[in-house]
Amino acid sequence: MTQTTSFRRFLAPALICTASCIGAVVVLQQAITSARTAARELESISHLKVLGLALGNYSSAHDDHLPDQNNEPNSLSWRVAVLPFVGHPEMEAQFDRLSAWNAKSNQPLAQTWISVFDATLGEHQQPLPNGFAISDYGMISGPGTVHPNDHAVTLDEISSGDGLGQTLLLGECVGLRLAWAEPRDPRVDREIIGIETLTKPGQTSNKLLSTYTRGKVPVAFADGGGRFLNAKIDPKILKALCTVDGDEGINQSDYLE
């Protein structure tokens, strides 16, 4: 047997073994990525349910009213108002309500990361300028929604209108890059009605809802239920889900993933 033949006999099994190891690593990485994605999706739905429940508890403490859309210069986000209902009553009490959300007196609070506002398990969130912490979730806002310009909506209004289970309350809007203390949310009269899937941290979007989840976006309806909307939803149906009393008569098969 020549030295070359011997080497070839050794090399073939070695190459097969190496290829098998590489294949196993690839499969393992894919499995880890899939598990991480599934965990992120479940975590996001869980956060939306917590926030939906918090808004329900807020309404119970305020004569059935949800937080109003306050456009005053010194206003704070509804996310500040629900802090006592998500385990942070001391933070809500520390906010200076006579100053803007980003005033010097409120900056240390607004720069504090709150886990329930993070849809990405910390993987994609990047602080805003001045270190303000982000919320990946927004309340559907604008004329005819649960968060209009001129008054605070009651859950009874929603229930007697399109129904709590047919009216969007919250959704992922990671591309809007919202500071959680900032009184800004996805608006039906400002953003493009639609859903965009993002791929890079810090990426922005002008769509009403945006997410890192492929094919679907986590949302919460006014009944507190967390669900996934199909990312390919007809914009007209998405707009209909945003109204409190539009009487559109849509079916769940038209929008649920």
Q: Between residues 147 and 7, which one has the greater pLDDT?
A: 147
CB–CB of 204/192 below 8 Å? Answer: no
pLDDT at 160 over 70: yes
Residues facing residue 178 across a β-bridge: 135
pLDDT at 118 over 50: yes
**Phi, psi angles (nearest 5°) of residue 43:** -65, -40
Instruction: Retrieve residue 69's tokens.
Output: 């859309």
pLDDT score, position 33: 42
Instruction: List Cβ neighbours of 190 (8 Å cut-off, separation of 6 or more).
Output: 142
Name the average pLDDT for the chain. 86
Per-residue pLDDT tens digits for 122-134: 665 677 888 999 9
Q: Between residues 217 and 256, which one has the greater pLDDT?
A: 217
CB–CB of 195/209 below 8 Å? Answer: yes
> Which residue from 93, 88, 222, 87 is spatially nearest to 153, judged by alpha carbons?
222
Three-state DSSP at 25 gives: helix
Spatial distance between the Cα atoms of 159 and 166, rounded to a whole number of angstroms: 9
pLDDT score, position 12: 58
pLDDT at 193 over 80: yes
Percent share of the chain, pLDDT over 90: 67
Neighbours of 41 (CB within 10 A): 18
Mean pLDDT for the stretch of residues 10-29 = 52
pLDDT score, position 29: 44
pLDDT at 14 over 80: no
Mean pLDDT for the stretch of residues 76-96 = 97
Give the pLDDT band (50/70/90) at residue 71: low
Cα of first residue to Cα of last residue in the chain, in angstroms, is 64
Spatial distance between the Cα atoms of 82 and 77, rounded to a whole number of angstroms: 9
pLDDT at 92 over 50: yes
Per-residue pLDDT tens digits for 36-53: 556 678 899 999 999 999
User: Taking every pair of C-alpha atoms in the chain, what is the biggest distance, in angstroms?
Assistant: 93
pLDDT score, position 1: 55
Residues facing residue 170 across a β-bridge: 139, 220
Residues facing residue 216 across a β-bridge: 230
Q: Which of 47-61, 111-125, 238-252 has the highest mean pLDDT?
A: 47-61
CB–CB of 23/55 below 8 Å? Answer: no
Give the pLDDT band (50/70/90) at residue 6: low
Spatial distance between the Cα atoms of 180 and 220, rounded to a whole number of angstroms: 17
Mean pLDDT for the stretch of residues 120-145 = 85
CB–CB of 197/210 below 8 Å? Answer: yes
Spatial distance between the Cα atoms of 192 and 199, rounded to a whole number of angstroms: 19
Checking 128-134 for CB contacts under 8 A at 24+ apart, the result is: 128/177, 128/179, 130/102, 131/107, 132/102, 132/107, 132/179, 132/180, 132/181, 132/182, 133/179, 133/180, 133/181, 134/177, 134/178, 134/179, 134/180
pLDDT score, position 11: 58
pLDDT score, position 31: 41
Three-state DSSP at 225 gives: coil
Q: Between residues 15 and 169, which one has the greater pLDDT?
A: 169
Name the residue ranges covered by the structural domains of the chain: 42-254
pLDDT score, position 124: 58
pLDDT score, position 72: 66
